[in-house]
């Protein structure tokens, strides 16, 4: 396949442009896939929306989170674990290519339990996960309060903390650095990223797809819809079921603190810069990305319940973003049966799965159609 020469990021388009693959969406999912496909030798273009778009990639918590994934879907437990295992080499490759540090750390993650019921529920959940007995199951253990305190010497735990689950495969990164690094890497690979080029419609014709954007037309034999919530109308126009919905998540950030929290956490994470992130809410509020004082109060209460010393710490920021959720919360990798060559890719763990998307899913899409290992992620599971 021919390779584009250094196009970088582009805007104005006057004629129909072609490529081996056209990726719609330049967020974490689209950028990771494009990076993987260009690395495998395909000519790739990306269409992305405008500055005002709602982007999950700009709002997330930065976890590479393994421990709770795949309950009731062993294939997802395996997929997540594979991605976490690939993450170190993936971060190193991006760092070498772009000079951007992703602050990737895999030191394990904690999910704190407040009260005996939460700890009992956590024990039951982990037992169910272990009973699935897949070779890739995460190694999760449940710690009581004394064991947890032993992991966090010098840190005062709130009286309600009864314990936590711990998984050594959990990790974290700076998600904004990840997106920036992917975009830099794509420019270095010669992949044009067409900004303000929202795909308005897609037409299938004789083994090719024609996409009309605000900036002109694009044609390709292989179309990847990775536009987050924006994929839905495009996918449905190609006969791909796209049962996705937005779910709001609000996050708080504190001032910088000396390092006290070595481990990632699903509700409390200290970044490499020292700030503490507290999150995130799960709210069905449509496309509303406003923050609320009620959610901020609830998040702050949780943080102080776990670590009472945080009561003396200043909050400096809060924001809200929209997760892209399928009905069961698991990824959706759906190919069009009517129009082979078109695939929709979405998930609510675009950071965690970035390595697997670039290294494993991207070449599988190029080779197409997706093999049986991806069948559990198809839309067939929704009937």
List contacts with ligand FAD (CB under 6 A): 24-30, 47-49, 53, 55-57, 59-63, 65, 198-199, 226-228, 230, 249, 251, 280, 321-324, 346-352
Q: Are strands 315-325 and 208-213 parallel, antiparallel or unpaired?
A: unpaired
If the CB atoms of residues 236 and 309 are measured against ligand FAD, the closer one turns out to be 236
Cis omega (within 30 of 0) for bond into 274: no
Q: Which of 291, 216, 279, 290 is nearest to 253 (CA)?
A: 279
d(CA 291, CA 250): 7
If the CB atoms of residues 162 and 194 are measured against ligand FAD, the closer one turns out to be 194
Say whether 30 sits in a helix, a strand or coil: helix
Least separation, in Å, of the C-beta of 89 and ligand FAD?
18
Least separation, in Å, of the C-beta of 32 and ligand FAD?
8
If the CB atoms of residues 25 and 162 are measured against ligand FAD, the closer one turns out to be 25
Give burial (CB, 10 Å; 0-12/13-18/19+) of 52. exposed
If the CB atoms of residues 199 and 238 are measured against ligand FAD, the closer one turns out to be 199
Least separation, in Å, of the C-beta of 322 and ligand FAD?
5
If the CB atoms of residues 148 and 324 are measured against ligand FAD, the closer one turns out to be 324
Least separation, in Å, of the C-beta of 196 and ligand FAD?
9
Q: Other C-beta atoms within 10 Å of 54: how many?
A: 17
If the CB atoms of residues 162 and 263 are measured against ligand FAD, the closer one turns out to be 263
| Token reading at 331 | 């990824």
DSSP label at residue 157 = P
Alpha helices (runs of H) in 219-367, residue ranges in sequence order: 231-237, 293-306, 354-356, 362-367
Least separation, in Å, of the C-beta of 202 and ligand FAD?
9
d(CA 176, CA 101): 11
Q: Do the Cβ atoms of 46 and 194 come closer than 8 Å?
A: yes
**What stretch of H or E contains 175?**
helix 175-189
If the CB atoms of residues 44 and 227 are measured against ligand FAD, the closer one turns out to be 227
Q: Which of 153, 159, 92, 175 is nearest to 304 (CA)?
A: 159
| Token reading at 238 | 């190609």
CA distances from 315 to 94, 232, 255 (A): 32, 36, 6
If the CB atoms of residues 37 and 157 are measured against ligand FAD, the closer one turns out to be 37
If the CB atoms of residues 63 and 157 are measured against ligand FAD, the closer one turns out to be 63
CA dihedral (48, 49, 50, 51) positive or negative: negative
| Token reading at 164 | 């936590």
């Amino acid at each position: 396949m021919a390779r584009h020469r250094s196009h970088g990021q582009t805007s104005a388009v006057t004629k129909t442009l072609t490529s081996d693959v056209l990726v719609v969406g330049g967020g974490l999912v689209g950028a990771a896939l494009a990076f993987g496909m260009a690395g495998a030798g395909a000519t790739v273009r990306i269409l992305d929306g405008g500055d005002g778009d709602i982007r999950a990639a700009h709002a997330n918590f930065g976890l590479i989170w393994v421990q709770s994934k795949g309950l009731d879907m062993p294939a997802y437990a395996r997929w997540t674990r594979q991605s976490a295992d690939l993450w170190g080499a993936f971060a190193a490759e991006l760092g070498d290519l772009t000079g951007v540090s992703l602050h990737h750390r895999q030191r394990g993650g904690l999910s704190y339990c407040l009260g005996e019921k939460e700890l009992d529920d956590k024990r039951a959940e982990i037992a169910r996960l272990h009973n699935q007995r897949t070779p890739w199951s995460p190694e999760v253990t449940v710690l009581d309060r004394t064991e947890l305190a032993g992991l966090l010497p010098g840190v005062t735990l709130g009286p309600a903390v009864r314990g936590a689950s711990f998984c050594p495969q959990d990790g974290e990164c700076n998600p904004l650095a990840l997106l920036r690094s992917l975009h830099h890497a794509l420019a270095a690979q010669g992949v044009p990223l067409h900004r303000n080029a929202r795909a308005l419609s897609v037409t299938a014709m004789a083994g090719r797809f024609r996409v009309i954007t605000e900036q002109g037309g694009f044609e390709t034999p292989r179309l990847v819809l990775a536009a987050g919530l924006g994929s839905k109308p495009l996918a449905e126009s190609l006969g791909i079921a796209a049962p996705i919905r937005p779910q709001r998540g609000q996050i708080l950030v504190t001032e910088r603190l000396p390092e006290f929290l070595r481990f990632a956490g699903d509700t409390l994470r200290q970044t490499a810069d020292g700030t503490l992130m507290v999150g995130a809410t799960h709210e069905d509020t449509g496309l509303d990305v406003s923050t609320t004082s009620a959610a901020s109060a609830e998040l702050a209460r949780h943080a102080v319940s776990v670590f009472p010393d945080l009561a003396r710490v200043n909050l400096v920021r809060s924001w809200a973003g929209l997760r892209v959720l399928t009905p069961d919360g698991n990824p959706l990798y759906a190919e069009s049966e009517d129009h082979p060559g078109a695939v929709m890719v979405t998930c609510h763990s675009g950071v965690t799965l970035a390595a697997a998307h670039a290294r494993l899913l991207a070449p599988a899409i190029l080779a197409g159609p997706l093999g049986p290992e991806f069948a559990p992620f198809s839309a067939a599971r929704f009937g």
